Every structure is written in structure tokens, then in C-alpha cells.
Amino acid sequence: MKHVNIMGIPFLHTNQEDFVSLLNQRIQERQKTFVVTANPEVVMKANEEKEFKQYLEQADYITADGIGIVKAASILNNPLPERVTGFDTMMQLLDVANEKEYRIFLLGAQRETLDKAISKIEANYKNIHIVGSNDGFFDWENNNIAERIAELKPDITFVALGVPRQEKWISENITKFEQGVFIGVGGSFDAVAG
Ligand code: UDP
């Protein structure tokens, strides 16, 4: 697949619709997939912090989260089709999950926000199975979240811990999983909760 390199980050040359189709295909094929949607803040951080860059190097796909990256690609004469954000990808994956009756896990945000987001998803996507959830304020060194997810084998795990925690969490735990899409979605649970 074609990539566009911006300050050392290989952005996938795709549009929103094709990217969601690609993720759906990976779910069907049971191919484990780590997704980072990177905005300019992420690119800067990767250039400043070696450890953070190493998290990104584990990702299967990095997409352009925001118009800043799309504009930068254009200036570098290597254009990207459009932005592919964490929020939009999550919302479109929810549509696909509803259609295909996928099983999802939600990790992140305050418990109250998470509960509101779960209620909204349950009300609006009748065929989605929310197989589990955990708020985003857990003891990093001592928890069994990844083990629970490994056992539940959700098709999609949305990780809303903000940057850089979500990338760190996925990259530290990805080897424990056999399948599923893992995507950092920032403040998206707050947006869904309303
Ligand atoms: N968050 C979390 N655990 C933390 C810190 C943040 O679950 O230790 C959640 C926070 O409640 C919010 C989400 O991460 O729902 C995104 O936070 P923020 O807006 O700070 O991140 P950004 O979207 O800017 O990456």
C-alpha cells in the first residue's frame, strides 16, 4: 500500500471510506490491526520522544488525523486524499459493527462518560454487542484489562486514553491479542456521550 512520509511518519494513502472497508476486511480475516490516527501533535511528539516513536512503529496503519497533515502532504508534493480521523473512523466502524453484528470493547474516559457513551451506542446500534468496557483511570502497572480483552476477543477495541497513553497502552499490550482492531480514539467517548 502507498504511504506518504511526513517528518518520518508513514501516513497511509487512503480516504475515510476505503480505510473503514480495509479495517472491516481485516476483521473478517481475523488479522490483528493496530491503528494510529495521527495529528500534527502526534508527529511532533514522535520527533521529540524516541519512546513515543517506538509505539508508533508498532502500528499497522497511521492515518492523517486532521487537515494540518493533509496540507503538509500537499506542500511536500506528495498529497494525501483526505483526513481520516479517530472520531470519524470510530463512527463509521460503529455503522459497520451494527451491520455485521460485531463485538466491541470500550477502554477509556471517566466511568460516568463511558457509561453514557455505552447507553448511546446501545440505543443507536441495536446489533452491536458491547462485550466489555473499562474506564481510563486504572492502575497502569496492576490491572487485568488486556487479559480480559484477550479472552473476550472483541472485533474492535476502541481505546480512548488520549495521546500518548492510548498508543502506549496498545503497543505495550498488542502481543497479548490474537485478533481484532485496536484504535486510539482520543476524546471520542466524550463526544459520543454528549
Ligand atoms: N483519559 C483517560 N485516562 C487518562 C487520561 C485521559 O481515560 O489517564 C481520557 C479522557 O477522560 C478523555 C480521553 O482520554 O475521555 C481523551 O483525553 P484528551 O482530550 O486529553 O486527549 P486527546 O483527545 O487530546 O488526545
9, containing H or E segment: strand 9-12
Closest residue CA from atom 17 of ligand 1: 162
117 lines ligand 1 (CB under 6 A): no
Report the C-alpha gap between 28 and 89 in whole angstroms. 17
Tell how far the Cα of 165 is from the centroid of ligand 1, in angstroms.
8
Nearest residue to 156 (alpha-carbon basis) of 170, 143, 135:
170
3-state secondary structure of 82: coil
Residue 182's pLDDT is what?
99
Instruction: For 139-149, write each residue's pLDDT tens digit.
Output: 999 999 999 99
Residue 137's pLDDT is what?
98
Tell how far the Cα of 61 is from the centroid of ligand 1, in angstroms.
21
Phi and psi at residue 167, to the nearest 5°: -70, -40
- Hey, what amino acid is at 163? V
138 lines ligand 1 (CB under 6 A): no
Tell how far the Cα of 78 is from the centroid of ligand 1, in angstroms.
32
Domains of the chain (ranges; CATH) run 3-193 (3.40.50)
